[in-house]
């Protein structure tokens, strides 16, 4: 069990969840008693990097679990072993990985790209059943147009096809 009191930083907590999963092969239990910050619900992305290179990133746009601690645990494990872009993380590789956790604020519908700031807001594009999300403050993404273009591409939505746009703020946590 991960002690939330010892690991108030969500990124530290995510690393501990990954470590326990790689050692035991099962999703770690979250503490029975959670600090107030972890009792809330919210969308969470857990991203892993090896140096400057992405090594895994999985998340939920909206909460699907009872609290943030469970959301972090599930997404941390998924980022380490279920991101289809990468092979599963090994125990030996864990020491080479840095972990960050983004806790998403509420989605706010917007009318146009002009209401975006790629350093401040993440974006969700939606067309029918297709949707794509891009977190804010991504290296090399300096314009709202580029941000929307990447989110469209992730969703398989062609340029020119009408989309609904949503922006959101994140609270990003890096490991101590």
pLDDT for position 29: 86
Instruction: Tell me what pLDDT residue 16 has.
Output: 94
d(CA 149, CA 155): 10
Q: What are the sequence ranges of the domains in the chain?
A: 10-104, 108-170
For residue 23, the model assigns a pLDDT of 95
**Assigned architecture for domain 108-170:** 2-Layer Sandwich (3.30)
Q: According to the 3-state scheme, what is the secondary structure of the chain? A: CCCCCCCCCHHHHHHHHHHHHHHHCCCCCCCCCCCHHHHCCCCEEEEEEECCEEEEEEEECCCCCCCHHHHHHHHHHHHHHCCCCCCCCCCHHHHHEEEEEEEECCCEEECCHHHCCCCCCEEEEEECCEEEEECCCCCCCCCHHHHHHHHHHHHCCCCCCCCEEEEECEEEEECC
Give the pLDDT of residue 35: 82
Nearest to 61 by CA among 10, 135, 118, 150: 135
pLDDT at residue number 5:
47
> Which residues are CB-neighbours of 45 under 8 A, at least 6 positions away?
57, 58, 59, 60, 75, 101, 102, 104, 135, 170
Q: What is the pLDDT of residue 112?
A: 96
pLDDT tens track, the chain, 176 positions? 444 444 579 999 999 999 999 999 998 888 778 788 888 999 999 999 999 999 999 999 999 999 999 999 999 999 999 999 999 999 999 999 999 999 999 999 999 999 999 999 999 999 999 999 999 999 999 999 999 999 999 999 999 999 999 999 999 999 98
Please check whether residue 166 is in contact with residue 3, taking contact to mean a CB–CB distance below 8 angstroms. no
Fold of 10-104: Glycoprotein, Type 4 Pilin (3.30.700)
Fold agreement between 10-104 and 108-170: no
């Amino acid at each position: 069990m991960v002690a939330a009191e010892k690991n108030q930083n969500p990124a530290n907590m995510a690393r501990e969840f990954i470590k326990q999963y790689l050692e035991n092969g099962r999703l770690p239990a979250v503490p029975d008693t959670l600090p107030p910050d972890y009792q809330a619900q919210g969308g969470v992305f857990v991203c892993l990097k090896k140096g400057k290179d992405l090594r895994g990133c999985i998340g939920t746009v909206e909460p699907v679990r009872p609290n943030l601690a469970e959301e972090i645990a599930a997404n941390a494990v998924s980022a380490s072993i279920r991101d289809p872009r990468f092979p599963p993380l090994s125990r030996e590789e864990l020491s080479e990985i840095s972990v960050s956790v983004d806790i998403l604020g509420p989605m706010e519908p917007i009318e146009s790209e002009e209401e975006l700031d790629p350093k401040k807001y993440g974006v969700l594009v939606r067309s029918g059943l297709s949707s794509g999300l891009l977190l804010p403050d991504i290296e090399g993404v300096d314009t709202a147009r580029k941000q929307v273009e990447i989110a469209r591409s992730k969703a398989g939505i062609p340029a020119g096809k009408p989309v609904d746009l949503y922006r959101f703020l994140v609270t990003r946590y890096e490991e101590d």
